Amino acid sequence: MAATEQPSRGLLRAGIAAAVLALVLDQASKLWLLYVFDLGRRGAVQVTPFFDLVLAWNVGISFGWFQNESWIAQAILTAVKAIAVIALAIWMAWSRTMLATVGLGLIIGGAIGNAIDRFVHGAVVDFALFHVEIAGKTFNWYVFNVADVAIVAGVTALLYDSLLGTRAAKAP
């Protein structure tokens, strides 16, 4: 493929489909948990011995870092996400592998899903909590949502593609 030749539209469609799927699943799960299941009223709901549904409002970024409820901090976080989504969309438009394109789509869909929460609720809706008890002490993972899963899956796909994908295998 020549340096100026744009990748196939089929790749771009796959990336857009991944973004839309991640966004729809994320928002549908949050809306259902908030307004149908009413997780806020129920409190923590044990699903399995190692998984609970809990309602957590994350005003920070990944893993709850930089917690700040001020309007200006939320606006800055939203602006940073918008710039990142635009940069990822440009990258996706020029991506040359299905795995990278779909991975970028998953990241974009997840980022938009969490940005919608930040805009609508002033915080990201997190609800999934994995935990384990060892020797009487409980260890919790971070509370997360479907958008976070999509972002992690997308980053994993990008790492796999860049380290072990076909281009890496053909490198001299």
Active site residues: 126, 148
Residue 112 near residue 23, CB atoms below 8 Å: yes
> Nearest Cα to 98, choosing from 168, 5, 9?
9
DSSP notation for 45-73:
EEEETTEEEEEEEE-SSGGG-S----HHH
Report the amino acid identity of residue 73: A
Distance CA(29)–CA(33), nearest Å, equals 6
